[in-house]
Structure 1
């Protein structure tokens, strides 16, 4: 059963009727640029074919009811109670301490949090999308009709492929249409980030949501996380006969736990010691001064972000000037930086990267927030099977569980499927 069919089937089981529509949004792979997003830096992700589907319809009440194939019981909340459920105690995306999670199951907070964030928009918070009239306004009074939402997904959970942003994107796209908001993709991405920061309590940046909402076939999205300016960057993978191999280590992670938050705190501490707004405002030339001001751990965290920002810029330039076969060294350097300076890799990720490189990958690195999840390897189309077998053998030799290995290609963003 496909995820789209599973969402429809779950909706019918929940409500006894057909949904008014099915909307979906993709997960993402980050080609390069890790932990730079919440430091207002640069990233280069792309949307993947794996998607989350939301079957949705009005329910004739003032409540929002959500169900998921990953959970046994649905969750129901009155629309008027969302502000109580998700009090705006913090602005995680603005550098303050994000809120702790709400008193609902975490999976449902991604969905309910998007509804809350959309209802919380005020006139002037958002740019109207192409379907919005010149008089469009957004306020909490606009979204007053309750909905039922059933979620199913084929984005691997906990693999660093942003299953959470896919849930947020599918939900936001559905509500944007059903509630007649006419909001653009960037505004919907911002609502998804606010849901993740404040409703779920995960101190992530906006890269995942923007990658999902702005996905295009055969292209990555170069994103300036400070200005939210974007540029579509052709990858050239298909024309060059290359594949992006995803190696899901099956080691699960959670961004709302301590390791991610500690790294973010270190980055903010480093920026404060340098006297700048964020690490975006520092360059490689600032590292000697940083070394004089910081303890060793903070320096290594700062060094990763500064050098990773430069690697993103270099990757964009190299793709345009030399093509995808020339980016391998940048991918390898990125992994080394995350392993040694940011310390977010795990033995399974290192084994995946090392085995892929030893058996012909052009480049490889862990992708996502770290502490588990997936690595990616850029390989020749004809070498996919050989590299995959080598990685599986390396895992078996090390006594690790078998990885889940598959290929992805840059894909389109949100859509209405039915």
Structure 2
């Protein structure tokens, strides 16, 4: 299915935005903490043509029925949109809600296609949002910078789609650069690009998609966020960003066991992000393996967002020579990543696939990703 097949004419412009892998820093974003994602060489493309009226029409290559969903700019509201098309309509709504004047603006025909795996924790949703946000910003001549567009994408996902995510995914998709990670302070939105230097060190990132699908708009993610907010409230801080490692003994006295473990993950994960940035700058990517493994153990034991498939993927990768490995994304399924020597990639992937078969798990989808450029006009 193509734009031309759906709409009967050719698009006038194409924009694309990448999915992302989070190297380290999980669930820290909505706690005003630190994250270290990178944009990947899997992208979502939005083919677009302006219309003469105020209607936005949306179709996608992953809707086999070839259906078109339409909504007028004058009727935009979270209640008027549902399903995957909310990722497109929600951006137009969020731009208006965040202060852009859409008076007199005309609509678009939009066609979405993607090679970012859905449900793998690689942020296929943010890839749609960011490509569309960049396109609408340019075509409507709104003049917003990329950090503002990241906030628009997060606002849309929170309030139009209904997923209580932080700003990491959109920031990575909009700000990513080749062979580098984006060091993001989620409180100030200050960013720094840090060389990942995998190519020079003969390393690759192997993604192990467990094919256990998750849905962020449902309970597990929201429950973890509520625990973090409870912890901050009891500890008397604005966000868990303001709690240090040294504060944890006091936190353990004040909090119930489950809330304390949730808090401990966030506090130690923030420190691991800072340690990873320092280690990359001082010693390079081969020195970060223990930090990746410690992150996974914290998500497994303290935050309790892993699943047996993710644990098996990480353990098997490490047993077969990975430099480091961890689950990535929101959890409850999705993907793990393993930092591997280029020549060991196929052997690690084969070992994981074999281990999944022996455990009676669904066959995983394994592939490598590279750190790539962020959203762009193609």
Q: TM-score, normalised by structure 1?
A: 0.89
Deviation at 1:173, TM superposition (A): 1.2
Q: Which residue of 2 aligns with 1:118?
A: 95
Unmatched segments (≥5 aa) in structure 1: 1-5, 87-101, 123-137
1:165 to 115, 121, 126: 126
Helix, strand or coil: the match of 1:246? Answer: strand
Deviation beyond 3 Å, 4+ runs, structure 1: 102-105
Q: Which residue of 2 aligns with 1:79?
A: 73
Q: Is the 8 A contact 2:214 2:333 kept in 1?
A: yes
Q: Is the 8 A contact 1:119 1:141 kept in 2?
A: no
Q: Which residue of 1 aligns with 2:138?
A: 177
Helix, strand or coil: the match of 2:85? Answer: helix
Distance 1:105 1:14 in 2: 20
Q: Which residue of 1 aligns with 2:59?
A: 67
Q: Which residue of 2 aligns with 1:35?
A: 27
Q: Which residue of 1 aligns with 2:103?
A: 141
Deviation at 1:103, TM superposition (A): 5.1
State whether structure 2 residue 168 is matched by structure 1 residue 207: yes
Q: Is the 8 A contact 1:120 1:140 kept in 2?
A: no
Q: Is the 8 A contact 1:121 1:139 kept in 2?
A: no
Distance 1:375 1:360 in 2: 15
Helix, strand or coil: the match of 2:71? Answer: strand
Q: Which residue of 2 aligns with 1:406?
A: 367
Q: Which residue of 2 aligns with 1:90?
A: none
Helix, strand or coil: the match of 1:254? Answer: coil
Q: Which residue of 1 aligns with 2:181?
A: 220
Alignment of 1:264-413 (within 5 A): 264-413=225-374
Q: Is the 8 A contact 1:121 1:140 kept in 2?
A: no
Distance 1:235 1:16 in 2: 44
Distance 2:81 2:102 in 1: 22
Deviation at 1:177, TM superposition (A): 1.4
Unmatched segments (≥5 aa) in structure 2: none
1:233 to 171, 191, 194: 194
Q: Is the 8 A contact 2:81 2:89 kept in 1?
A: no
Helix, strand or coil: the match of 1:34? Answer: coil
Q: Which residue of 1 aligns with 2:211?
A: 250
CA deviations 1:242-280 (Å, max 9, x no partner) are 000000000101110000000000000000000000000
Q: Is the 8 A contact 2:82 2:161 kept in 1?
A: no
